Amino acid sequence: MSSIMDKLRERIEENYDELREEMLSRNKEAIFDSAMSIAAAADVLFYMSTHDWVDEDEAAYLLDFTNPLIMIAEAWEEHLNSGDGKFRSVLETVLDDEDNEEHYMTMALESELREKHGYDVGIMDALLSELVDAGSRYLELQAIYEGLGADVCDEE
């Protein structure tokens, strides 16, 4: 087994431990409401720990993301709800999804945010700060643009 596969398994186990801690901090009703998501994550942990479902390139791709467990578990839960119980088809869906970087945080983005905002700042707070800064910058640029006599188009 390659070290990249070991790293992926370790990351998924870490993700599962983090999910477990998060769930255990919730009240009973919230845990109950999350039962399907928890079960899907447990399935993914089992499958990824017991079989070689991905090759080295696919493992490297999944390691680009902070939480590959959740990426796969969300797809797995969706497939189970549709009646498709083939785990490899779920992995192919995740691996072929070009929108992953729009929906999941990459390790590179998390590292960049932590370096900029500090390691003691929560990642959600860092993202919110970035959004506020971007919005402020947009409004400044819009004012300059309008000051130059241009009309801003607000249509979609």
Alpha helices in the chain (DSSP H): 3-24, 28-33, 35-50, 56-63, 68-81, 87-96, 100-103, 107-117, 123-147
User: DSSP state, 151?
Assistant: P
Helix (H, G, I), strand (E, B) or coil at 83: coil
CA–CA separation, 10 and 111 (whole Å)? 19
pLDDT at position 10 is 96
The separation between the first and the last C-alpha atoms of the chain, rounded to the nearest angstrom, is 50
- The structural domains of the chain, with segments of one domain joined by +, span 3-104, 108-147
pLDDT at position 107 is 82
* Nearest alpha-carbon partner for 123 in 136, 112, 133: 112
114 close to 126: Cβ distance less than 8 angstroms:
yes
Q: Quote the percentage of the chain above a pLDDT of 90.
A: 42
pLDDT at position 135 is 87
Low-confidence ranges of the chain (pLDDT < 70): 1-2, 81-85, 151-156
Q: Whole-model pTM above 0.85?
A: no
